[in-house]
Structure formats: structure tokens, C-alpha cells
Chains A and B, each alone.
Chain A
């Protein structure tokens, strides 16, 4: 079992839809959870950062962490064509700064 599992998609939605992206993990030592957005031929860009369980909201983006289920989610409300990108989840236990990434989900928002 891989440490972090992420459905690679692709996921295609109409503009304005609510998008749900998810990752599961197996390492209970993970305490820090991140979502990165990566446009084609660009480096990953940090979107959201969450410590331990709970929700965090930033504009149209909401990150959720459920440590009891080892499950994290990123919700995008009112999705826009500019949200079309690959979304990567990443996690860390914190002690050595090492990040473990999912494979990424390719999202396309159609106008």
C-alpha cells in the first residue's frame, strides 16, 4: 500500500461546479497536510496548508482533514476555467521536513 493514494482522474466539470478532490494515507505520523496546484509546464504552487484535523477556508477553497479516517479533501466552489490544473496533496510528519506527495488529480473546468 502506498503511503499516499490520490485518484489521478482526469476530472472534468462545468464552470461553476463544486469540485471535490481527495487523498487517503496510511502513515498515522502525518500531521501537516498541504494542497498544491500545478499548471502545465510549471512548478507546484502551494494552495492550502493545514495542521492536524479540521477545516480551513480560503476564498473558494476549503481543505478538510479527518485524521481518524486518514482522509483529506480539497473543495473548490464556483469552479472557474482558470482552476484547470493538476492538484497534488502532500503530507509530512514534520520532524524532518520531508513531504510525501500523491500522484495528483488532473482537473479540467469547462466554460
Chain B
């Protein structure tokens, strides 16, 4: 399985600011995914990021709020913009398992918005 790292591991941000989360994989992968994990809620897919194309967003998530970059096959960023306390959550990236359905997850970024 791929080794995935995320930066930062946690952050505390002020309302109205933005946070950019980085996801780095130790091997080239086709698909990278960004999830949100809110307390007491299911892991929810925000968007799918493929290299060389625009990210595909799930219902309820928009590019203006969650812009994503995927400059190469080992790296992606998720920005959470115009932060509000409701954005306080854990954000996770994951990668596909070489064309198989199962995914492997990074350690997550814990965001607190004051």
C-alpha cells in the first residue's frame, strides 16, 4: 500500500481565513480523493482529483469553497476557503489502490476554526 503524508497535521484558524492542506504520496497514483470527517458523521467525499484535469466535486461541495490542485501524480492540495466554525473537522486525503476499488488514507488534518 502507498505511504501517504499530510501537512499540517492540525491547525487552528481564524474565521474568514483559508487553510491549504497538502497530501504527498510515495508512489504515483491515478486518483486522489479528499474527504471530510465531522464528529458523529460518516466520512464524506468532497472531491476526486485526477492529474491534468479539473477536480470532480460531490453534491454540496463547490470549487470556490474547496479549491483543489493536482500538479502531478504524487501530490495534491485542498484549500478550505473563507473559514467558519462549521468547517472545523478532520480532512483526509486518500488514493486509489492501483485501479482497484479500495482506497488508502493519509493520517488526516484536524482543523479548528475560531
Contact = CB atoms under 8 A, between A and B. Distances in A.
Contacts of B45: 98-99
B104 interface: yes
B105 A97 contact: no
Given A49-B102, A99-B45, A43 B107 contact: yes
A99 B39 CA distance: 19
A76 interface: no
B74 interface: no
Interface size class on chain B is 20 to 34
A44 interface: yes
B40 interface: yes
B89 interface: no
Contacts of A99: 43, 45, 101, 103
Contacts of B41: 103
Contact of B102 (A8, A34, A88, A98): A34
A106 to B, nearest CB: 11
A46 B104 contact: yes
Interface in B87-107: 92, 96, 101-107
A43 B101 contact: no
Nearest to A95: B101
A97 B42 CA distance: 17
B28 to A, nearest CB: 16
A78 interface: no
A42 B44 CA distance: 16
Given A99-B45, A103-B42, A44 B105 contact: yes
Interface string A71-108: 00000000000000000101010100111111110000
Interface in B18-74: 31, 33, 40-45, 48
Nearest to A4: B42
Nearest to A34: B102
Contact of A46 (B1, B4, B108): B1
Interface of B: 1, 4, 31, 33, 40-45, 48, 92, 96, 101-108, 110
